[in-house]
A and B are shown apart, each in its own frame.
Chain A
Amino acid sequence: MHDLLSIIKGVELFRGLDDDQLQRLAGISQRETYGEDDLIFAEGSPGDSLYIIVKGEVEVQMRDEQGAYHAALYLGAGQVFGEVALLDEGVRSAAIAAATPDTVVYRITRAAFQDLCAADLALGFLMMRNLALDLAFKLRHRNYD
């Protein structure tokens, strides 16, 4: 838990949260480890969780007009993915695969996330603000391409 706390203090998604709030977030996070090229989730699958990368990189994979998957973006430690489906409750808009051996992520389910936000509105506000800023960053990255 201590390691996770020190890690998530360096994640922008949790910027502005105090130690108690971080502790509660760490408490609803589940560690998962993937090998290189392992699929973390498939495009079109139900989106019930967001993920925080704590070690390694993941590849965001999207389909082109011919239906072939190609890498659309790489995300490294400290980045978040899966947040779109977590927010809009739609299916996954892209597939995500581990791009490095021993890729470590923490997963937070929508149900646990919503419960935490409802129980602590200040935490909920900060998380939603930070999620919006993360999406803005990704949009700017894409527009710069």
Chain B
Amino acid sequence: MIYKVSYVVLGGGHPGAIKNETEMPQVGAKIRLGRQTFEVVEVKQMMPPRDDFQFLHATIKLVSK
């Protein structure tokens, strides 16, 4: 399964990202976008899955630069 994830950053200080992941993001997990580390605070399905793809929204917050 491939998880196509729309990452939206709380507070608006970062424009967010769209990435493919091989594992579903979990609340509390740390992810890297560029040089910055973020924590996942919420994950929602954006659209119904199709074939091997799932489409997700993940809200994240900055942990460190």
Contact = CB atoms under 8 A, between A and B. Distances in A.
Interface string A1-21: 000000000111001100000
B2 A145 contact: no
Contacts, number: 74
Interface of A: 10-12, 15-16, 57, 60, 70-79, 99-100, 136-138, 140-141, 144-145
Given A76-B20, A79-B20, 12 more contacts: A16-B51, A57-B34, A71-B14, A74-B34, A78-B20, A137-B18, A137-B47, A140-B47, A141-B6, A141-B16, A141-B18, A144-B6
Interface in B12-30: 12, 14-20
Interface of B: 2, 4, 6, 8, 12, 14-20, 33-34, 46-47, 50-53, 55, 57
A137 B55 CA distance: 8
Contacts of A138: 18
A75 B53 contact: no
A145 B16 CA distance: 8
